[in-house]
């Protein structure tokens, strides 16, 4: 806003007509409304269409409607409690009005014989009339402005009890807002560039605010809201665009200029399968980033089984070709070991040195590994957070790969980067960074959130996968489920049976796994059964995993330790016990453990309670699992069920609280706002241009409000 208008909008609410110190205090305390601007931003939570006025003789049962008539014949009735009745009469008939609250107030406020507008739901009475319980009344004569109530689309504002005690109910707030808009007049300084408004068909600021509070029509309200939503998203995306444009170039990394011998030979001679188109595209994107002298920060999203590992392998080869080391960080020991084996198997024929470092290794081995890494002999070091320890020193760390990002915080990533070499001028040369995740964040959301991270998507599964069939079963169907497992085992297949383990320390859950193990042993006496859970020593876990992998055990009873990445192609059945206790993305991850070979695969969700007793969201989760195997679709449903705050963890999400915009429902608008914001920041990163000064002020105000770092300052 223009500085002089800004002063107007910063006026404390006490200066507004009908707001004294008492009311101002309540508004501040109860709704954080302190200034004119705050009140302007206090939006209706609903609107009611009162344009259709009915006559008493036209009423339909249970219709919400508006009537105009005179109020007559107040009577206070006494039964168990007091209530108030009155009659509303128009030229065609009468309607009974009933209140259980505000009995004295109403009689004082609306005098008998007064012409009023009545609003409410008409219910038929036994006498053949209609009655309205707790109708809303407007004295018709008193209202100079039709906008304030009668015969308009009327805004409703939320008010707490404390506000109502000060007379600040929905109607009174409506009146204040109306007064404010009158006083404001044309004190709206359009800050969006005209070209932008034209391109996105946005209505002017003054109109948007007027119509969002007092819409002359539903269409007018919708375009007003669209403008306000657009700018919310636009300012947020500007902050992201700016962060990217102003901060990212500052981070120097070694450019991997050449695609060398290792990459070429591996690609030509050792690649075990042809890459999918999606894998090729992502590898190209990574190659392009790695060639730059600025840090790559790329998130690779790919559903379970989409082949992220191979993409990672190729990235490490580019690093090695240019003389740089790679650190690959996995969330669990099982996964680290598995990655180590894959990398080792694929790359040792080329002479690439791959090492493993986990907490569970012997000291002598560990020291040998550390020495090899420090000397630069090792090309690729794979491990768990053991990699973060100070003892781990690289000679030339040029690339970090983090598998399953959500298990690692930002701090841990920073810790890894501290191992980067320094440049001559003493500033660090950051390793390029690749993050791989199988819990896809819906595309739109990833776009919004990662203004400073590039996102690659592997949206294609390798050929020859048969889709996994998923069913929901209850306890009484267990014999049939076990019968089915028996058939699969007879065909030489293997099965997982997973129990929830929310926290690895929860004794009860551990008990459930152990009891489950016994049950399975009793039910499948002719079979070898394995068990893995978080309380086991790493060696023991590994031993059990290896046995299962070699087919020596047929059923693996496990907790969610097998959630990520474990790859046993011969396993075709995944039974998830107490499935209602798992989150949607976790269920999807678990299901991803099967369907990895050519054989038809099955996921059986066992409900721990009778199906009819399932909670609403649990039911939706389980049905979503049965309906689709598309990880992105699942992520979208998950986001819908949980909302972005919970989905991402509010803090971590970095999302401001939008007043109107909804990043899911308004995904399309978000895309447009993002494009517009990035385009604008590309031409004027600090908003220095004279024509952007109003925009700059509003942008800074929003950044402050959302507590986003203000890079303009
Ligand atoms: P994720 O993305 O879940 O990490 P992986 O990298 O473990 O998936 O790959 C899953 C399985 O698919 C592995 O057995 C891998 O060898 C195989 N795979 C990966 N890419 C291809 C491809 N292009 N063609 C055939 N099989 C592939
Ligand atoms: Mg993986």
Write a three-state SS string for 304-316. CCCCHHHHHHHHH
Q: Is 307 in the pocket of ligand 1 (CB under 6 A)?
A: yes
For residue 461 and ligand 1, the question of a CB distance below 6 A is answered with: no
Ligand closest in space to the Cα of 310: 1
Specify the 3-state DSSP secondary structure of 501.
coil
| H or E stretch covering 436 | strand 432-437
* Residue identifier of the C-alpha nearest atom 25 of ligand 1: 462
CA dist., res. 70 & res. 126, Å (int): 23
Instruction: Average the pLDDT over each of 96-105, 144-153, 308-317, 671-680 and give the range with the smallest value.
Output: 144-153
Q: What is the pLDDT of residue 145?
A: 44
Per-residue exposure over 99-134, b if at least 16 CB sit within 10 Å of its own CB, e if not: beeeeeebbeebeeebebbbbbebbeeeeebbbbee
Neighbour tally for 515: CB within 10 Å: 12
pLDDT recorded at residue 461: 85
147, exposed or middle or buried, with CB in 10 Å at 0-12, 13-18, 19+?
buried
In this structure, of 26-30, 249-253, 376-380, the range with the lowest mean pLDDT score is 249-253
Q: And the tokens for 568?
A: 């046993």
Interval between CA 154 and ligand 1 midpoint (Å) = 58
Number of the ligand 1 atom closest to the C-alpha atom of 308: 2
Tell whether the model's pLDDT for residue 697 goes beyond 70: yes
Ligand number, closest to the Cα atom of 303: 1
CA distance 363 to 386: 13
Q: Is 603 exposed, middle or buried (0-12, 13-18, 19+ CB in 10 A)?
A: buried
Rounded distance from Cα 305 to ligand 2 centre (Å): 7
Local confidence band at 504 (pLDDT 50, 70, 90 cut-offs): very low
Taking the centre of ligand 2 as the mean of its atom positions, its distance from the CA of residue 352, in whole angstroms, is 21
Cα distances (angstroms) measured from residue 93 to each of 21, 42, 119, 128, 130:
45, 39, 16, 12, 10
Choose which residue among 310, 328, 439 to substitute to test ligand 1 binding: the one with the highest number of ligand atoms within 8 A of its C-beta.
Answer: 310
pLDDT tier, 303 (very low <50, low <70, confident <90, very high otherwise): confident
Return the higher-pLDDT residue of 695 and 453.
695
Give the number of the ligand closest to the Cα of residue 565: 2
Give the Å distances, CA to CA, from 527 to 488, 524, 540, 555, 601: 12, 6, 20, 8, 20
Cross-strand bridge partners of residue 114: none
The bound ligand whose nearest atom lies closest to the alpha carbon of 458 is: 1
Given this model, what pLDDT does residue 165 score?
87
Ranking 190-199, 437-446, 611-620 by mean pLDDT, the lowest is 437-446
Degrees to nearest 5, angle at CA 448 with 590 and 232: 135
Q: What pLDDT, on the 0 to 100 scale, is given for residue 710?
A: 67
Give CA–CA dist 498/27, Å, rounded: 53
Distance 301 CA to ligand 1 centre (A): 14
Question: Pick from 318, 309, 310, 313: which is nearest to 288 by CA?
Answer: 318
pLDDT above 70 (res 410): no
Rounded to an integer, what distance in angstroms lies between the CA atom of residue 45 and that of residue 375?
Answer: 64
Residue 446 pLDDT greater than 70, yes or no? no
Longest CA–CA span in the chain (Å) reads: 100
Please work out whether the CB of residue 273 comes within 6 Å of at least one atom of ligand 1.
yes
Mutate to test the pocket of ligand 1, among 279, 283, 301, 309 (most ligand atoms within 8 A of CB): 309
683 pLDDT more than 60: yes
Mean pLDDT over 91-112 rounds to 87
Q: Which ligand is nearest to the CA of 304?
A: 1
Report the helix count and the strand count for the chain, using DSSP H and E: 25, 22
| Window from 2-6, 448-452, 622-626 with minimum mean pLDDT | 448-452
Assigned token pair, 605: 């969700």
Region 212-223: what's the mean pLDDT? 95
Q: Is 493 in the pocket of ligand 1 (CB under 6 A)?
A: no
Cα 603 to ligand 1 centroid, rounded to whole Å = 20
* Residue 250 pLDDT class (50, 70, 90 cuts): low
Please give the Cα distance from 116 to 129 (Å, whole number): 19
Q: What distance in angstroms lies between residue 403's CA and the mean position of ligand 2's atoms?
A: 7
| Residues 383 and 358 sit within 8 Å (Cβ to Cβ) | yes
From 305, 436, 564, 585, the mutation candidate for ligand 1 (largest count of ligand atoms within 8 A of CB) is: 305
Q: Whose CA is nearest to atom 26 of ligand 1?
A: 462
Q: Please report, for residues 249, 296, 419, 547, the alpha-carbon distance to residue 428 in angstroms, rounded to integers and kept in the order given.
A: 13, 15, 9, 45
518 Cα–ligand 2 center, Å: 31
The conformational region for residue 420 under phi > 0 = left, psi -120 to 50 = alpha, else beta, is: beta
User: Does the beta carbon of 304 sit less than 6 angstroms from any atom of ligand 1?
Assistant: yes
CA–CA distance, 602 with 612 (Å, rounded to integer): 23
Taking the C-alpha atoms of residue 157 and residue 8, their distance in angstroms, rounded to an integer, is 23
- In the chain, the N- to C-terminal Cα span, in Å, equals 17
Tokens at 289, concatenated = 């980033």
Rounded Cα distance between 560 and 539, Å, is 18
What whole-number distance in Å separates Cα of residue 601 and Cα of residue 466?
7
Name which of 98, 155, 146 is nearest 122 in CA terms. Answer: 98
CA atoms within 13 A on the CB side of 337: 18
Mean pLDDT computed over every residue of the chain: 86
Residue 442 gets which letter from DSSP?
P
Strand, coil or helix: what is 358? coil
State yes or no: pLDDT of 361 exceeds 80: no
Find the 269 Cα to ligand 1 centroid distance in Å: 18
Q: What torsion do the CA atoms of 350, 352, 358, 364 make, to the nearest 10 degrees?
A: 110
CA distance 293 to 291: 7
Ligand nearest to the CA of 457: 1
Residue 244 makes CB contacts below 8 A (sequence gap 6+) with: 451, 452
Which run of H or E residues covers position 629?
none
> pLDDT tier at 248 (50, 70, 90 boundaries)?
low
Closest CA to 531 of 519, 552, 545, 551: 545
Six token digits for residue 301:
């999203």
Q: Is 376 helix (H, G, I), strand (E, B) or coil?
A: coil
Atom of ligand 1 nearest to the CA of 569: 14
pLDDT at 151 over 90: no
Q: What is the mean pLDDT of residues 455-482?
A: 89
Mean pLDDT, residues 44-55 taken together: 83
pTM recorded for the entire structure = 0.62
> Of all protein residues, whose CA lies closest to atom 23 belonging to ligand 1?
275
User: Burial level of 137, CB count in 10 A (0-12/13-18/19+)?
Assistant: buried
By the 8 A CB rule, do 212 and 225 touch?
yes
591 CB under 6 A from ligand 1?
Answer: no
Q: Is 338 in the pocket of ligand 1 (CB under 6 A)?
A: no
Statement: residue 299 has pLDDT above 90? no
Note the pLDDT of residue 152: 78
- Out of 230-244, 263-277, 498-512, 601-615, which region has the weakest mean confidence (pLDDT)? 498-512
- Percent of the chain exceeding pLDDT 90 equals 48
The rounded distance, in Å, linking the Cα atoms of 498 and 548 is 14
Locate the ligand 1 atom nearest the alpha carbon of residue 309 and give its number. Answer: 6
CA nearest ligand 1 atom 16, residue? 307
């Amino acid at each position: 806003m223009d500085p002089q208008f800004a002063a107007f909008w910063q006026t404390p609410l006490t200066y507004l007509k009908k707001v004294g110190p008492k009311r101002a205090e309540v508004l501040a305390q109860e709704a954080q409304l302190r200034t004119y601007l705050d009140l302007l931003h206090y939006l209706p939570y609903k609107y009611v269409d009162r344009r259709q006025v009915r006559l008493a003789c036209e009423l339909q049962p249970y219709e919400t409607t508006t009537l105009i008539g005179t109020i007559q014949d107040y009577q206070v009735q006494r039964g168990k409690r007091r209530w108030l009745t009155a009659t509303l009469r128009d030229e065609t008939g009468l309607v009974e009005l009933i209140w259980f609250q505000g009995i004295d107030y109403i009689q004082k406020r609306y005098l008998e014989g007064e012409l009023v507008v009545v609003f409410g739901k008409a219910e038929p009475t036994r006498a053949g009339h209609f009655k309205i319980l707790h109708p809303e009344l407007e004295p018709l004569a008193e209202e100079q402005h039709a906008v304030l109530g009668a015969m308009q689309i009327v805004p409703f504002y939320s008010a707490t009890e404390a506000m109502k005690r000060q007379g600040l109910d929905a109607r009174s707030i409506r009146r204040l807002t109306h007064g404010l808009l009158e006083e404001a007049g044309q004190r709206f300084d359009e800050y969006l560039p005209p070209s932008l408004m034209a391109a996105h068909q946005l209505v002017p600021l003054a109109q948007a605010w007027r119509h969002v509070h007092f819409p002359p029509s539903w269409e007018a309200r919708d375009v007003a809201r669209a403008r306000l939503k657009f700018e919310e998203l636009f300012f947020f995306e500007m902050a992201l665009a700016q962060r990217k444009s102003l901060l990212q170039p500052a981070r120097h990394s070694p450019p991997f200029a050449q695609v060398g011998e290792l990459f070429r030979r591996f690609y030509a001679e050792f690649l075990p399968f042809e890459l999918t188109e999606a894998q090729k595209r992502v590898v190209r994107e990574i190659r392009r980033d790695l060639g730059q002298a600025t840090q790559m920060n790329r998130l690779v999203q790919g559903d379970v089984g989409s082949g992220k590992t191979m993409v990672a392998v190729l990235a490490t080869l580019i690093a090695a070709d240019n003389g740089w080391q790679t650190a690959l960080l996995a969330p669990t020991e099982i996964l680290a070991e598995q990655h180590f084996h894959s990398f080792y198997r694929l790359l040792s024929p080329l002479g690439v040195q791959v090492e493993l470092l986990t907490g569970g290794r012997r000291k002598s081995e560990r020291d040998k590994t550390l020495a090899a890494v420090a000397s630069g002999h090792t090309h690729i070091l794979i491990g768990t957070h053991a990699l973060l320890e100070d003892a781990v020193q690289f000679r030339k760390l040029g690339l970090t790969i983090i598998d399953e990002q959500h298990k690692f915080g930002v701090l841990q990533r920073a810790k890894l980067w501290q191992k980067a070499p320094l440049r001559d001028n003493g500033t660090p040369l950051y390793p390029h960074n690749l993050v791989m995740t199988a819990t896809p964040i819906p595309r739109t959301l990833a776009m919004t959130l990662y203004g400073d991270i590039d996102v690659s998507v592997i949206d294609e599964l390798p050929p020859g996968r048969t889709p996994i069939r998923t069913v929901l079963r209850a306890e009484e169907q267990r014999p049939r489920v076990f019968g089915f497992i028996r058939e699969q085992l007879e065909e030489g297949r293997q099965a997982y049976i997973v129990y929830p383990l929310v926290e690895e320390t929860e004794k009860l859950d551990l008990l459930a796994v152990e009891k489950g193990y016994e049950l399975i042993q009793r039910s499948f006496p002719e079979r070898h059964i394995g068990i893995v859970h978080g309380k086991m020593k790493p060696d023991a876990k590994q031993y059990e995993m290896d046995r299962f992998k070699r087919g020596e055990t047929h059923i693996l009873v496990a907790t969610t330790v097998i959630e990520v990445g474990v790859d046993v192609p011969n396993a075709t059945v995944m039974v998830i016990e107490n499935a209602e206790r798992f989150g949607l993305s976790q269920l999807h991850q678990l299901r991803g453990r099967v369907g990895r070979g050519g054989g038809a695969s099955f996921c059986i969700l066992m409900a721990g309670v009778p199906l009819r007793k399932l909670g609403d969201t649990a039911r939706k989760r389980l049905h979503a699992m049965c309906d689709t195997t598309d990880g992105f679709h699942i992520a979208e449903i998950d986001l819908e069920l949980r909302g972005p705050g919970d989905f991402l963890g509010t803090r971590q999400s970095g999302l401001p609280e939008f007043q109107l915009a909804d990043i899911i429902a308004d995904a399309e608008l978000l895309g447009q706002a993002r494009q517009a914001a990035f385009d604008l920041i590309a031409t004027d990163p600090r908003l220095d241009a004279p024509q952007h000064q109003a925009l700059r002020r509003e942008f800074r105000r929003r950044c402050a409000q959302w507590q986003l770092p203000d890079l303009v300052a």
